[in-house]
Amino acid sequence: MSYTISNYILDRLKELHIRHVFSVPGDYASIFLETLVDDKDIELIPNINELGVGYATDGYGRFNGAAACSVQYGVGTFSILNCFAGGLVERVPMVLIGPTLSTTSMELERTKGILFHHSTGDLSSNYEAMKYATIMAVQVEDNETGPARIDEALTAMISFKRPVYIEVRQNVFGEPCTPPTRPLSVDSFDSNPGNIQAAVDAAWEKISAASAPVLWYGIDIQRFSLQSSAQALVDAGHLLFTTTSLGKTVLDETQPNFIGTYAGPASPDYTRIVMAATDCPIALGAIITDDYLDIMRDKYDLMIEASGDEVRVGREHFWHVPLAAFMEGILGKIKAEGLSPLAYPTRPAVPAPAPLSPSASLTYELFYAVMDRWLVAEAHIKESILILGESSSLYVFGNLMGLPANSFVAQAAWGSLGHETGCALGIELATGKRPLVVAGDGGFMMVCQEISSLARQHSNAVVFVMSNASYTIEQAFVDIKAFSPGGQFAPFDLLPKWDYLSLAKAFGADGYSVGTVGELAALLNELSAPSGKPSLVEVRIPQKDLPPQIRRLATPGSPLQARRHRGM
């Protein structure tokens, strides 16, 4: 049997330590999938639909450093586009191996007007669409130039931690080629030594004059393996640090210099106090979303911001300054010159947790309190990864303290509903750790069938669904008065009531429903030992329960409320 383009792709994926490829099959990709099944060193992971494929690939890429999937031409590509757009925004290295028509079929469509199945009639439509959701899209049109195109895309993916698209003609998958002769290389950001020095000097002038500089870390610290450098800055300068919601747990959060995750008005009290007092926020590797309108309005001129290959010091911009080089330069300044005595706000004493009544009906806050004790005090988080969706729970659980590094995932920038449940399978396969998912019922309804994918792989994931039959966070931004007595929810923010126990049984999972503190605590004890099956847990909460974090975010007049609801 000859060595083919399909073999070449698989060898390159294995070189990147990819051992699983997620897929919904299609005839245009059958040659590739057959070759994949025959390869004993990489496993095909079937999914139920393309959204599940994309989310699982995303989860795998966040922890493995690279991920791959394949779906059908046309219908599959356009379905998975959303997932790749999320990966582009949130710096996830993932590749879609996308089939297209064979060379012969393309010619027939061009010359005879035959519309092949799943084709729009525009032979470049998949390729052109994926350009907008990836850092690079390439077309493999023959077996001579194909290997170079494949290498070009994969190099971009691992170098810049972004998704790529490799489109391969149906017949070319099976055409012979030469195996790789050398490993893939990693490109680096363009670098200008003079600009690096100028950026470091300008930033140091601000930092050294500040009385309360705060390090504000983002997801690029993890994506580009800069955790050691980030920790060194904390240690050398005795600096306080926070993270974005997306970057939560890029560093170990059990250390005393961590002030809590910064999420604007949804932050813990002490985090908000420190960020209000800082005279030099230092945002490193952070994606600044509209959660941070307050600080961008109030502290823009005081801020230092570095990401990719750009640095901003106040209103001065420096280009071709890679983040790693900038951090190294600042660390050198701290070690050589030291910092003036720092004057941070005094951290208040943490009160002992209040006793919880077992008979109390669950709310967002009580669910959080019970989970906090189970995850942190009882240390279940050490062998788990907590996954939050674009829901009210994200802002509640973003307040958690004491988490170990790399233990929290939230699609906090792109915010695609259902991501939390869909990515759990990829995260578990990449890490071997147990996914603990907290989903809103609206997000869960988008991808509920992924419980079946988890069951198929004998996953130990636990999916908690906050069941209140509404889009809580959406309603809060539309009209927070709906949560007052007599208030009415907008009809478009209401959801149907589901029978989650029956749903779990149908999908091959264990199903549970809890509505009190005691029921939840007892169930958590039961779930402490993994069973080899996923668990689906309905968490019954009142429809009008609104956590204080969301209440602060959605208060009329707040910048985020004005932007989200009125576009102001």
Q: Do 450 and 48 form a contact (C-beta atoms < 8 A)?
A: yes
Look at residue 350 in the predicted model and tell me its pLDDT.
82
Structural domain ending residue among the three candidates 174, 208, 235: 174
Look at residue 6 in the predicted model and tell me its pLDDT.
99
Structural domain ending residue among the three candidates 299, 321, 337: 337
Q: How many domains does the chain have?
A: 3
pLDDT band at residue 351, thresholds of 50, 70 and 90?
confident
pLDDT tens-digit readout, 116-158: 999 999 999 999 999 999 999 999 999 999 999 999 999 999 9
Q: Same domain, yes or no, for 200 and 157? A: no
pLDDT band at residue 560, thresholds of 50, 70 and 90?
low
| Torsional sign, CA 16, 17, 20, 22 | negative
Rounded Cα–Cα distance for residues 56 and 387 (Å): 13
pLDDT tens-digit readout, 281-302: 999 999 999 999 999 999 999 9
pLDDT band at residue 565, thresholds of 50, 70 and 90?
low
* Residue 107 burial (CB count, 10 A): 12
The stretch 52-58 carries a mean pLDDT of 99
Q: Are strands 240-243 and 280-284 parallel, antiparallel or unpaired?
A: unpaired
Q: Is the pLDDT of residue 360 over 80?
A: yes
Q: Same domain, yes or no, for 488 and 539? A: yes
Look at residue 353 in the predicted model and tell me its pLDDT.
82
* Mean pLDDT over each residue of the chain, to the nearest integer: 96
The stretch 155-181 carries a mean pLDDT of 98
pLDDT band at residue 271, thresholds of 50, 70 and 90?
very high
Q: Same domain, yes or no, for 298 and 230? A: yes
Q: Same domain, yes or no, for 15 and 157? A: yes
Give domain status of residue 238, yes or no: yes
Look at residue 151 in the predicted model and tell me its pLDDT.
99
Q: Same domain, yes or no, for 276 and 380? A: no
Q: Same domain, yes or no, for 313 and 378? A: no
Look at residue 55 in the predicted model and tell me its pLDDT.
99
Residue with tokens 């578990």: 428
Q: Is the pLDDT of residue 433 over 80?
A: yes
Question: Phi and psi dihedrals of 59, rounded to 5?
Answer: -60, -40
Q: Same domain, yes or no, for 82 and 112? A: yes
Residue with tokens 């959204």: 51
Q: Which domain holds residue 221?
A: 193-337
Q: Is the pLDDT of residue 562 over 90?
A: no
Q: Is the pLDDT of residue 407 over 90?
A: yes
Q: Same domain, yes or no, for 420 and 545? A: yes
Q: Do 241 and 257 form a contact (C-beta atoms < 8 A)?
A: yes
62-66, 184-188, 318-322, 447-451: which has the minimum mean pLDDT? 184-188
- 10 Å CB burial of residue 194 (0-12, 13-18, 19+) is exposed
Give domain status of residue 268, yes or no: yes
Q: Same domain, yes or no, for 160 and 27? A: yes
The stretch 183-196 carries a mean pLDDT of 95
Kindly report the length of the chain. 568
Q: Is the pLDDT of residue 563 over 60?
A: no
Structural domain ending residue among the three candidates 322, 337, 352: 337
Beta strands in 246-383 (DSSP E): 280-284, 304-307, 310-313, 316-319
Q: Same domain, yes or no, for 170 and 253? A: no
The stretch 148-177 carries a mean pLDDT of 98
Give domain status of residue 155, yes or no: yes
Considering only CA atoms, which of 420, 447, 409, 454 is closest in space to residue 51?
A: 447
Look at residue 445 in the predicted model and tell me its pLDDT.
97
Amino acid at the residue 200? V
Beta strands in 208-347 (DSSP E): 213-217, 240-243, 280-284, 304-307, 310-313, 316-319
Q: Same domain, yes or no, for 203 and 155? A: no
Look at residue 453 in the predicted model and tell me its pLDDT.
98
Q: Is the pLDDT of residue 372 over 80?
A: yes
Look at residue 555 in the predicted model and tell me its pLDDT.
84
Q: Same domain, yes or no, for 260 and 370? A: no
Domain with residue 442: its CATH number is 3.40.50.970
Give domain status of residue 80, yes or no: yes
The stretch 319-348 carries a mean pLDDT of 96
Residues of the binding site for Mg(2+): 441, 468
The stretch 191-220 carries a mean pLDDT of 98
Pure H helices in 99-145: 103-112, 125-131
Give domain status of residue 389, yes or no: yes
Look at residue 1 in the predicted model and tell me its pLDDT.
74
- The percent of residues in the chain predicted with pLDDT above 90, rounded, is 93
Look at residue 529 in the predicted model and tell me its pLDDT.
86
pLDDT tens-digit readout, 292-333: 999 999 999 999 999 999 999 999 999 999 999 999 999 999
Residues of the binding site: 441, 468
Give domain status of residue 297, yes or no: yes
